[in-house]
Amino acid sequence: MTIRWVTAFLDLPASTLDSGTRFWSEVTATRPSPVRGDHDEFRTLVPGDGDACFRIQSVDDGPGGVHLDLHVDDVDELATAAVELGAEIVARPGHIILRSPGGLPFCAVLYHGEHRPPAPVHLGDGTTSRLDQVSIDVPAERFEEECAFWAALTGWALRSSRLSEFAALVRPDGIAWRVLLQRLGDDDPGA
């Protein structure tokens, strides 16, 4: 099983969906797609060059966050592997929604040929920018388990950091997102 593409989903409370979409569209030089979904909850930020890898979803409960969609040729195969590694299946609304052993949401979705990460954005001051890393915040007591889970599920090497609260998955060529795992502090309200 190969992870063929990764999409980062920014999960925003419904009350901030429009302003959040405008902000992220502007700073990434992307064009928001028309809304879609049963409740108009999804938007894709379409780059001028490359394949879409950043989407926004409206959520009804909680402050929101970020989750990853892992694009594969066989979603059932990915879900089975994830469950064997300690994840749980949450729902199957056409794709498969799962939670990692540490309770972090992600989805198994069908691959549709994406392969070109978006080009860097040229800013007006002569610099360039690229949104290319997602940080997964992990409760301190689950950090080692989550690092092992994500490395095993993706098949990507895990690189430790000189700072013990960080580890990174080494992304393969052709994948738009780097994945950083960050250990939350014991006093962090998210832990």
What pLDDT, in 10s, does the model give residues 117-164?
998 888 778 888 888 899 999 999 999 999 999 999 999 999 988 888
If DSSP codes are grouped into helix, strand and coil, which group holds residue 59? strand
Q: Say if residues 56 and 12 touch (Cβ distance below 8 Å).
A: yes
In the numeric block, the tokens 């950090």 are attached to 143
Tell me which residue of 178, 181, 147 sits closest to 6, measured CA to CA: 178
56: its two tokens: 């926004």
DSSP 136-190: EEE-GGGHHHHHHHHHHHH-PPEEE-SSTTEEEE-PPTT-S-EEEEEEPPTT-TT
Edge to edge, the sheet with strand 5-13 lists: 30-32, 42-47, 54-59, 5-13, 65-72, 105-110, 96-99, 88-91
| Residues with pLDDT less than 50, the chain | 191
- pLDDT the model gives residue 188: 59
Please state, as a whole number, how many other Cβ atoms lie within 10 Å of the Cβ of residue 35. 15
Nearest to 188 by CA among 152, 150, 149, 141: 141
pTM above 0.85, yes or no: yes
